Amino acid sequence: MDAARIRVMVVDDSAVIRKIVTSTLLKEEDIEVVGTAASGREAISRFKELKPDVITLDVEMPDMTGIEAIPYIRQIDSRVPIIMFSTLTESGGKATLDALSAGATDYVTKPSSSTSVEASKEIIASSLASKIRALGQKRRRAVGAGSAYSGSPATHRPVPSSTPNTRFSAPTASGVRSTSSPLARPVAGEAKASSEQFDGARFRPTTHRPPSLILIGISTGGPNALGELLPALPANLPVPILIVQHMPATFTRLLAERLDAKSKLKVMEAKGGEVPRAGEVYIAPGEHHLVVTTNQRSELAIALDDSPPVNSCRPSVDTLFHSATRLGNRVMAIVMTGMGQDGYVGARELKAAGAEIVTQDEATSVVWGMPGYVTNAGLSEQVLPLNQIASYIVRRCNVPGTSDRSPAALPTNTHAPALGASTSSRSATSEIGGRRWH
């Protein structure tokens, strides 16, 4: 056993999948498979023995599903990364979002049954290993900082007796959310501590005028982060929001529906051709880039683009950000939790055009890849914890019924170029949120 390697437990009822995943991960020099399990119940019983840094967990298993097992694992260790294995189907998408709501950290989609073994190994190596590495490294840093494995017999709810095909209610003694609550935070205690930690935070001064369009780029950890951010925004938000969340087709529609059900704003998957209005949120559909364009009536509009992936992503944050550069200082771009660096180039372009750049902080990001690149490059003007982003948006947008009493707020820059004008001499007429700009 190499203490420097990331320790992984693989949980799947299929012996073939366990073998493929294990043999693929064993080729990674910094990853070690410390054990396997064939059911959620077995995963719970072996967890304290194996003490993995990361768990891969199948969704559908006999006896106890992966979703049913999550709250019990969270009772033992509230912070261990759990990566779900789900199928690229509508039912797989619903199950994935249920798992994330129950406390899973992220997911990967399984190769289809028609995919060859070698091709399956390549898919697993490219998608799963990188997530294990990113989440495992953060886990190791947290343990090194004192947030060690926290299991204790006194607080660990016993695993229910074996009853095939029985659904079990989630434990709630320690604040773990029920699986029936979509897009909930995994551990309520963490949210409370975070809120207390950041109460009274002061935002940095800004000379930017209130934005007329908000762009959000997000990936790993995104569904739950959006599930906290969007419901915290008021119905009278005077600007539209465009979001790129790295997810496959079908998943993005289901995510939009769930967010719409719990938000005061109207949340939908973009179809292309829409004129974004105040109080509306558009999520890029999986496998399509989302871009800002102008329609025949010179209104700002949404278009979908099927051009090749950017940063191995489609939709890509960079693509969305690049398309909005001509709007200059009318844009606020927010880069939130996610792996990789998608959004960095686009944020740099937007910054040069006069846009305001905001990033989520490292402490509240599941993975501080995307926001970390932007922050470390000096592009971000506000580095905020997740539970402060909605408040900042409300203040910056001058939402009716609220006022920005923060001493950090400076007067609006009345000499900023109008929406639709680039930083050059070109001009355009566009409409955002029901207003026209010349």
Please give the positions annotated as active site: 219, 246, 342
- The amino acid present at 254, given as its one-letter code, is L
User: Could you give the CA distance from residue 219 to residue 240 in angstroms, rounded to a whole number?
Assistant: 20
Question: DSSP class of residue 292?
Answer: E
Distance in angstroms (rounded) separating the CA atoms of residues 179 and 168: 10
Which residues are within 8 A (CB) of 414 and not within 5 positions of it... i.e. 6 or more apart?
209
Cα–Cα distance measured from residue 41 to residue 193, given in angstroms and rounded to the nearest whole number: 30
Helix or strand (DSSP H, E) at 21: helix 15-25
| Cα pseudo-dihedral 23, 27, 28, 33, rounded to 10 | 30
CA 433 – CA 280 distance, rounded (Å) = 9
Bond into 186 cis (ω within 30): no
Determine if residue 322 is left, alpha or beta; phi over 0 gives left, psi from -120 to 50 gives alpha, anything else beta.
Answer: alpha
Q: Strands 241-245 and 213-218: what pairing? A: parallel
